[in-house]
A = this chain, B = another copy of it.
């Protein structure tokens, strides 16, 4: 859990950091964060299918999807550094011009995903269902504000 909570300090440090500190080129950061979101979304989607009754509930698979989400969900935020607002990206300028609001949205998302990870590991479908709604809403809220259609 702790790693989700302390992400904020990492994020703030990273937004003020040139992208080349972690990535050779800004476009590498863009590619990396999109890849992280793709992997996260795929595994979140599999939990969503179970929670929504579109796939059979399998506690072991749910826990495995949760493990991937736990590992990947913290990754993309380190890749919004300087110079990564351009290129093949749907990132809105507000990520950088309203960085406190972006930080809040990311924090909320990380907290909700941490609940999903915990719920998926209980082996209880109702716990998973309860956690998925708010988490999905927190994904959508950030997309609505900070991602172009």
* Chain A contacts to B: CB under 8 angstroms: 22-23, 28, 31-32, 34-36, 38-39, 42, 46, 67-68, 70-72, 75
- Assembly of this chain: how many copies? 2
Q: List 25 A-B contacts (CB under 8 A).
A: A22-B46, A23-B42, A28-B42, A31-B38, A32-B38, A32-B39, A32-B42, A34-B35, A35-B35, A35-B36, A35-B38, A35-B39, A35-B42, A36-B39, A39-B39, A39-B72, A39-B75, A67-B71, A68-B71, A68-B72, A68-B75, A70-B71, A71-B71, A71-B72, A72-B72
CA distance A71 to B75 in the complex (A): 12
Report the minimum CB–CB distance from A9 to chain B (whole Å): 15
